Amino acid sequence: MKKVITYGTFDLFHYGHLRLLERAKSLGDYLIVAVSTDEFNEIKNKKCTYPFEERAEIVKAIKYVDEVIPEHNWEQKVNDIRSHKVDLFVMGSDWEGKFDELKEFCEVVYLERTPEISSSGIKTKIKHGK
């Protein structure tokens, strides 16, 4: 069984998130998604619309997702890869090159982002009433 892992905040879940999860799952048999906790998002200076528990429940409900785990910090990725026996680490292309050091532990793939959609963009549109 080929295990795949990806990470994200998944705030204001949208079509781009769905496509990422669908494509990540297509690369293996079992998809683990690490959802950033509220505490970790504070460290990253990210303000979420929904709390961790709700974001994790939304991600768990997606048919491509087999398991959801919390992401507490940047450093946990190596431990997650080892403890879950992950074969493939997947992230969006906006992170290209940022996790290449993980190639020592598993394959690393950066998937092209879905154009013209992001949680940040949605928040900006809502803020400006567009």
HSE (side-chain half, CA atoms, 13 Å) at 48: 23
Q: Which candidate in 2, 25, 44, 98 is catalytic?
A: 44
HSE (side-chain half, CA atoms, 13 Å) at 107: 11
100-123 pLDDT, tens per residue?
Answer: 999 999 999 999 886 676 556 655
Residue 44 falls in the annotated catalytic set? yes
CA distance 94 to 14: 17
CA distance 86 to 80: 8
18-61 pLDDT, tens per residue?
Answer: 999 999 999 999 999 999 999 999 999 988 889 999 999 999 99
pLDDT of residue 126 exceeding 60, the answer is no
Model confidence, pTM: 0.88
Q: Which candidate in 2, 25, 46, 63 is catalytic?
A: 46
Q: What is the pLDDT of residue 46?
A: 87
Question: Residue 55, exposed/middle/buried by CB under 10 A (0-12, 13-18, 19+)?
Answer: buried
Q: What is the pLDDT of residue 103?
A: 97
